[in-house]
Amino acid sequence: MLARNSNRLSGNLIVSNTPPDAFETTQWSIVVAAGDAAAVKHDDALAELCLRYWKPLYGFIRRRGKSVDKAEDLIQAFFVHLLDGPALQIADRTRGRFRTFLLTSLTNFLHNELDRDSAIKRGGSVRLLSLDIRNAEGELINQPMDAVSAEDEFQRQWAITIMDEALSRTGMFYAARGKKALFEALSPCLSAAGAEQSYAETASDLGMTESAVKVAVHRMRKEYRRQLREAVASTVELTGDVHDELETLLSALRPSRER
């Protein structure tokens, strides 16, 4: 899939210098609301967040040397712990980034034997979420497990997850305007590798002029950048954090020697 390519962006990211201020709706607001025992409806929203962001957490556990089966047991147990335990009640949204909250929560969970064993027992053989483990395994870097640190794997997978979300949002944006076929034809151009795609050949396939295709690609890249910024914005509390978070994501996708 295109979005699972580390060369995702062509051109520079455009980030506005909006004064630091809190976003109205972020992943943090869902976490804080879910911490209210009376807010039952927010449990479903939090479960959706877990389903959206489980792969970076799974990759982190695998890079710590756990087997596939053990990693799945632990990630399911962690979600039980997150949904039923005290983590949400004590979560402090002023600490910043949702990415950091999840990784810190998982690290603490893995270090705390009592909480971990208790969560596994509570969960038993029940799977809280349906996870595509085979797909997740295929997305781990094709290197020995000890060749990449758990932290680097988490950051890499997080970046991929956010960029996949931005790509999906871009696709929905085009589909809602009756341009699904155009998106499918031009979306490969959103990656650096896809930038080499022949505009002339694409124009012929779409029945468009080459110049029209170039304009369409430019607009799609602009929309993708907008969607990427919005996807990142939903994971931070302040608008002033968006630029730094974007830089962190891009850095995570570069080979370690280039950072």
pLDDT, tens only, 52-66: 889 999 999 999 989
Q: How many domains does the chain have?
A: 2
pLDDT at 16 over 60: no
Domain boundary among 139, 167, 190: 139
Query: Mean pLDDT for the chain?
Result: 77
Which residues span the domain enclosing 181? 148-259
Task: Decide if 9 is inside a domain.
Answer: no
Q: What pLDDT was estimated at residue 130?
A: 78
Q: Where is 180: in which H helix or E strand? A: helix 180-186
Question: pLDDT > 90: what percent of the chain?
Answer: 37
Pair 152, 135 in one domain: no
pLDDT at 235 over 60: yes
Q: What pLDDT was estimated at residue 4?
A: 38
pLDDT at 197 over 80: no
Pair 132, 170 in one domain: no
Task: Decide if 6 is inside a domain.
Answer: no
Write the pLDDT tens digit of every residue in 69-79.
999 989 988 88
The crossing angle, in degrees rounded to 10, of helices 242-253 and 150-175 is: 110
| Range with the poorest average pLDDT among 46-60, 157-171, 191-205, 238-252 | 191-205
Pair 79, 182 in one domain: no
CA distances from 139 to 45, 82, 123, 223 (A): 26, 25, 26, 26
Task: Decide if 15 is inside a domain.
Answer: no
The sign of the dihedral angle between the CA atoms of 136, 138, 142, 144 is positive
Pair 198, 255 in one domain: yes
Reported confidence tier of residue 106, pLDDT bands at 50, 70, 90? very high
Domain boundary among 76, 108, 139: 139
Task: Decide if 1 is inside a domain.
Answer: no
Helix %, strand %, coil % of the chain (to 5): 70, 0, 30
pTM: 0.75
Task: Decide if 8 is inside a domain.
Answer: no
Rounded to an integer, the average pLDDT of 12-32 is 47
Task: Decide if 164 is inside a domain.
Answer: yes
Task: Decide if 5 is inside a domain.
Answer: no
